[in-house]
Structure 1
Amino acid sequence: MSEITPEVVTHLASLARIALSDDEIARLTGELGHIVDSVAKVSEVATPDVVATSHPIPLGTVTRPDVPGVTLTPEQALSGAPERDGDRFKVSAILGEEQ
């Protein structure tokens, strides 16, 4: 059984500057006690021989290899552009920043 008592909950609430009613103190005493007991139970089996895991099954990479491929030439990329400036797209100024 954990060492969480109503006095401990009251003390923690005062440190956190949280006003708790007597009903809340009673409820939190049980809930915090359950949490502390659960952590203690896990700590019993967490020995150096048990490897920590974040997933119960191994996960593989889900991305494809980064391999360079064929890209568009500037002429192909700009072929559908309404306006261009050399090898760049030309766009209208926005937000009142017209020149």
Structure 2
Amino acid sequence: MNEQASVTLDDVRRVAELANLELTAEEEPRMQRDLNAILGHIDQLNELDTSGVPAMAQVSEMLGDTVLDRGEALRMDEVRPSLDRAEVLSAAPETDGRFFKVPKVIER
């Protein structure tokens, strides 16, 4: 792995802050080591020659109309009506008439 791609302790602290994680002083260097190991593995993968491998957005594009191992075929996507908003909201414990209202669970 090249030196410029290594994760610093400041990087670990910033990512932990963004993820709302509280890492102890003992966990920070371990997380730094783990993240650098992951980046090292990615660097190894980047060394592979994939020029002969066609780009693919979805696995289903490769399967097409084929039948899977268990006998089922992939269904075609089709537009169907969604649930009625008023009916769904009427079953909710609390709404503002347009959206579900839920209690706040993350404190900063």
- Tell me which of the two structures has the higher relative contact order, counting C-alpha pairs closer than 8 angstroms and 6 or more residues apart: 1
* TM-score, L = length of structure 1: 0.48
Larger fraction in strand:
1
> Which structure has the bigger radius of gyration?
1
TM-score normalised according to structure 2 size: 0.45
